[in-house]
Amino acid sequence: MNWVETSKAIQEGTVSLGIELGSTRIKAVLVTHDFNVIASGHYVWENQFEKGIWTYSLDAVWQGIQRSYAQIAADVQGKYHMTLTKISAIGVSAMMHGYLVFSKSGTLLTPFRTWRNNMTEQAAEELTQRFQFNIPQRWSIAHLYQAILNHESHVDEIAFMTTLAGYVHWVLSGKKVLGMGDASGVFPIDENTGNYSASFLDKFDNLEDVARYRWTIRDILPEVLKAGAPAGTLTRDGARLLDGKGHLQEGSVMAPPEGDAGTGMVSTNSVRKRTGNISVGTSAFSMIVLDKPLEKVHRDIDIVTTPTGAPVAMVHINNCSSDVDAWANIFKEFAERLGVDLKPDRLYETLFLATTKADFDAGGLINYSYLSGENITKMPSGRPLFVRDPHSSFTLANFIQTQLYAAFAPLKMGMDILKKEEQIKADVFVAQGGLLKTQGIGQQVLSNALNTPVTVMSTAGEGGAWGMAVLAVYARLGNGSVTLEDFLDREVFMNPDSVTSNPDPNGVAGYEEFMKKYQAGLPIESMAIRCF
């Protein structure tokens, strides 16, 4: 759309807003009906480790959303010389899982417990055995059951449990609902009914520790909605909360709130069966939409769903880019001591391009990027750790290569389970995330790690906020007669701009050598956790 057409769309309110609350950044994008971003805003935030729990305050949630929206409004005013007053559709997405519980009066009963907390091992194990279905520690139901097993006093007062996206949607619209993909990280979903598994709900309520409470699990869970279903409208109070200046009108169609896994699938056009996608950031996850059930229960493979309810095998790792970022900051400080001001893009480009001179096995260097615990390697907490022996080739190129290799190592371990034990693999993965933006370096490392082609689309830089805006458009159009898969193919990704990296045989072999040392050295990480 040209400037005149975009201005008209803003004036008529035929624009849609996508908001995503990620681990390190809250982002909002405003799109036209052709899915082009015309304004964006963001807010940087960090989780806090308080009293042994990784958390974010709800005040920070709203501060971040309001500042992101204010940037969009200012962007619109500056570019198009008009005030943003009408938005046709809004969608909210956020990091999945975790634990947000409220009383009957709407009071938060305990600080938000994020996906990053490895504190529900007993509950996750017991529920997995009872359901014969993998319940990861991150899932909301595991957090709830652990709180029950711990006899936490707040449990008796619970009237509503939701995710971060579900909470924001509830405040903006008054509706206690979840999109199907996000709901699948709260409690197992039955593909046939498109709802929580009735048999598992009954089994949970019949647990001896649960039966003594006056609520049932059905009482406190949000309603499950399929992508495209109406999920309420923006209320007057919600509009005032988004736009502190009071210009935004109420009435925007609200899309079912989704998790970052669902928006990752949408933004990479990976919702059809047998497609795969990867999102890399503070954490990382890979997903393959299944065309058949897994042969057995795997503790390192989550079964979630697409926003339309198809089962997805998901490998989730708690740590990915944070340690890379930490080391990059060290190099930035060193540059500043030399009087050089390196902007982030130049900093990462300089470091990543150094790997073109690295040894394929990263010179024998090993890194463990664990700022928090890691389920796949059975680490209960995090100790970032760099290891080398006297004979390692300790060069800048190998050091940065090691950081990139380590960022994807647990993901590879999980994907190897699917490939070797279930004979499930994707022909190609469509990936998104900051580590993949620098001239294909991270993209090639990921392709070598998984021994699978990896495609990055030009839209991937907008990430989940853009994917959520697409879902908002889908909800506004009321495309119940068109599947989400067809909508994405025919309307959104007709001519995708993308680049694909194929596995390099030497890189694949080198990464395998790295993984042998990485897995052999895991006891070092365990010892570090015990001693420090």
Whether the per-residue pLDDT at 440 is higher than 60: the answer is yes
pLDDT in tens, 260-282: 999 989 988 999 988 999 988 88
Which has the closest alpha carbon to 116: 282, 313, 277? Answer: 282
HEC secondary structure over 195-220: EECHHHHHHHHCCHHHHCCCCCHHHH
For CA atoms 55, 57, 62, 65, the dihedral sign is negative
HEC secondary structure over 280-314: ECCCEEEEEECCCCCCCCCCCCEEEECCCCCEEEE
Residue 245 CB coordination number (10 Å): 11
What is the DSSP code string of 123-157?
HHHHHHHHHTS---TTSHHHHHHHHHHTT-GGGGG
Q: Span 216-228, mean pLDDT?
A: 97
pLDDT in tens, 442-495: 999 999 999 999 998 876 556 789 999 999 999 998 866 799 999 999 999 887
Distance (Å, rounded) from C-alpha 409 to C-alpha 401?
A: 12
Question: Pairing state of beta strands 160-162 and 100-102?
Answer: antiparallel
**pLDDT tier at 255, thresholds 50, 70, 90:** very high
**pLDDT tier at 189, thresholds 50, 70, 90:** very high
The reported pLDDT for the residue numbered 214 is: 93
| DSSP state letter for 372 | S
**pLDDT tier at 439, thresholds 50, 70, 90:** confident
Are the CB atoms for 380 and 426 separated by under 8 Å?
no
pTM for the predicted model, two decimal places: 0.86
Which has the closest alpha carbon to 164: 118, 120, 114? Answer: 114
pLDDT in tens, 310-330: 999 999 999 999 999 999 999
Backbone angles phi, psi at 378, to 5 degrees: 60, 40
**pLDDT tier at 158, thresholds 50, 70, 90:** very high
The reported pLDDT for the residue numbered 183 is: 98
CA distances from 447 to 422, 453, 464 (A): 20, 5, 22
Are the CB atoms for 361 and 445 separated by under 8 Å?
no
Q: Span 386-394, mean pLDDT?
A: 96
**pLDDT tier at 4, thresholds 50, 70, 90:** very high
Which has the closest alpha carbon to 15: 69, 62, 65, 78? Answer: 69
